[in-house]
Structure 1
């Protein structure tokens, strides 16, 4: 899935010379956590988070200086340079950026112009959709040999039961790259016939694999 499919296009922005108190009002008014700072050409030159604004705000016990500090320019607390992504980047790549850089938001730019924004919440929701967990379904995890053609072999067995597959995840088995885990989400609430077929073909079903629920 591409970034342009999940990004928010209506982005609240501020110029660098705007006051911190304006950012505070916008964060509260629109219930957002990040505001890109843009120049006159709509190029991203910085970004501020609710934490940046909160840290810049004095304690409630120091009301005398609070008003003055909030009148400082937003560029005095913005983070710069800013990590950005392109609309045609993959959402999975953005998730990697969030993890590696320990950030929770990236502006989306095209031809150096701001066109959208993607947050950690947007990516998490998208990944939930990709797994199919929001649909009525069951999960089956199978340990298989890491070899060419193994995926169609297993999907053919599942398909023989006339059951749709909502999603497939493939990942290494622990630290052993000779094996893979195939995690299927199938559109049935009774996966036992499929599990029996898989076991009869010699596949090791890791989940569900509780005593008494299957042979």
Structure 2
């Protein structure tokens, strides 16, 4: 799954000359938290609802117009961006490392979309298959060649279709595989896997 598959487009933007008051009203009206700032068709910054709240909290409330500060005075100018063909997991890694809530998406320097943390959560739901009726299996496998194929081959041999499969390494030279399958009757399937020597973590063994 790529950024282009989850990004929002077209993107709501503001110009650098817009006041903080008007920008904040726009954020509230549209129910969003981030506004890319565009001048002459080029991305020049980004401003968030938090930026506006922090900026106005430091202004003198008795001043002539605390909300009349221009966006360009507060916006972040060094914007971290993504490309439409970036994998969603790479976008998630960048956002986590930079501790930011969105990535404007640029293609040939043109703003073509924006991806947020919520968009990446939606992508995770789609990747794991939980948006469709399915059962869940979680199996710990030795981290060696052929183990994942042995698991998928066992499921195929029982006529079980795999909707999604995610795996990640564990300590101690193991890999954990999370599989979504086309049946809700996962307990009998789990017991059959255990009889074949698989270390099934979910669903747990029934007490009887």
Q: TM-score range by the shorter chain?
A: over 0.9
Does the aligned pair in 2 maintain the 1:3–1:90 contact within 8 Å?
yes
For structure 1, which segment, 99-108 or 164-173, has the greater mean C-alpha deviation from structure 2 after superposition? 164-173
Match of 1:50 in 2: 49
Shift of 1:135: 2.0
Match of 1:76 in 2: 73
Shift of 1:58: 4.2
Cα deviation, 1:156-198, whole Å, max 9, x if unaligned, reads 111222222121111112x22x211111111211112322221
Match of 1:64 in 2: 62
1:167 matches 2:132: no
SS of 2:104's partner is: strand
Between the aligned partners of 1:100 and 1:64, the Cα distance in structure 2 is 39
Shift of 1:63: 5.1
Does the aligned pair in 2 maintain the 1:157–1:194 contact within 8 Å?
no
Shift of 1:37: 0.7
- What runs of 5+ residues in structure 1 fail to find an aligned partner? none
RMSD: 1.8
1:147 matches 2:148: no
1:88 matches 2:85: yes
Does the aligned pair in 2 maintain the 1:56–1:69 contact within 8 Å?
no
Give the 5 Å matches for 1:108-187: 108-173=105-170, 175-176=171-172, 178-187=173-182
For structure 1, which segment, 116-125 or 191-200, has the greater mean C-alpha deviation from structure 2 after superposition? 191-200
Give 2:200's match in structure 1, choosing from 201, 205, 214. 205
